[in-house]
Amino acid sequence: MAIEVVKVELKNVQDASGMEAAIKKGQFSADEVIAVIGKTEGNGGVNDFTRILADQAFRGVLKRLGKRSEAEIAKIPMVWSGGCDGIITPHATVFARNAKTGPANKSRLAIGTAMSAEILPEDIGRPAMVEKVAEGVRAAMRDAGIDDPKDVHYVQTKTPLLTVDSVLDAHKRGKDTFCEVHESMGVSNGTTGLGIAVGLREIGMPKAEDICRNLDLYSSVASCSSGVELTQAQIVLLGNKAGAGGRYRIGHSVMKDALDIDGIYESIRNAGLELPARPRAEDLKGRVVNCFMKCEADRTGQLRGRRQIMLDDSDVPWHRHAKAAVGGVAAAAIGDPAVFVSVDAMHQGPQGGGPCIAIIDAGE
């Protein structure tokens, strides 16, 4: 079952015309779409409703142009990351699965999806959430037909965060929560990163006291987002599989810090594209479909020995600084500002850096 991949621009927060055009052009059918990963132009915070608006627009096109029921469409993972700070262009990467197959000696992109068990408000930041996410990752591997975790190069998730209502619900049931509402986005992302690492056997099961504290524990392929729009972990797992068919391959590396452009190029090499020792955007020859990366402000307040003010700025939150900076580095690397950059990278790549994933067109 081959995977088709297309990146489309969002002209506004409710625009799904790019995906609609690809469907009408015959690139794939509405009923073949299995996942969407996108950037919206909101504030990237708890109250970023641009994620919900984009989600509704894309599901609306699939309902209008396809034959699947509303309930079936509702189950399609659509992971929306809010905030296009700096030069990042709002966009979505659409994944579709068709009936084509390929030679057994060629490894190509395969995708699996899964929904975890329900994540309760008291699970966030605790081992219960790690275990639920890990089991969901294993289910997504089975769905992709990938046996070896080393063939997995990207796990994108969307998980719940805390709201005032969910905290009150936990209290009514005699439960407490790990953190406050505004801390919960980073905590949810970090706990999920550990769940991915456990599911892929990158690490063993962490102790409760290590969650969101021991930053030496991380996944090199995790990209975790969270929001108010769901109560389970939506999991989209991507890797390479022999005989999968299609044109696309995926690879990964890590950015050691916000300036690590070599980490971006290494992910592209890992996907299978040959590059010179010191590559530039023109060396990619248009064969990079998209890059996906996580980032955060270095907690030491330093970047390559120089003082940074991201964590001290009372006017602009640090995540907007970091996203804009890494978005600029990534756009320069691939020559395209439509790059997926998400913040809150706790337990996702090394502290101060983050995972970087590349999807390339490997040809027929």
Neighbours of 123 (CB within 10 A): 24
- Please report the DSSP string for 102-149 in residue order: --TT-EEEEEEEEEPSP--GGGTTSHHHHHHHHHHHHHHHHHHT---G
Alpha-carbon gap, residue 233 to 133, rounded angstroms: 7
Alpha-carbon gap, residue 143 to 113, rounded angstroms: 6
Q: Which of 166, 188, 219, 225 is catalytic?
A: 225
Longest Cα separation, the chain: 60
342 belongs to the catalytic site:
no
> Smallest Cα–Cα separation from 234: which of 343, 156, 342?
156
Alpha-carbon gap, residue 231 to 325, rounded angstroms: 31
Q: Which of 158, 241, 294, 323 is catalytic?
A: 158
Contacts of 165 (CB under 8 A, 6+ apart): none
Alpha-carbon gap, residue 262 to 104, rounded angstroms: 32
Neighbours of 127 (CB within 10 A): 18
230 in Cβ contact with 160 (< 8 Å): yes
241 belongs to the catalytic site:
no
Alpha-carbon gap, residue 314 to 338, rounded angstroms: 28
Alpha-carbon gap, residue 120 to 129, rounded angstroms: 8
Catalogue the active-site residues: 158, 225
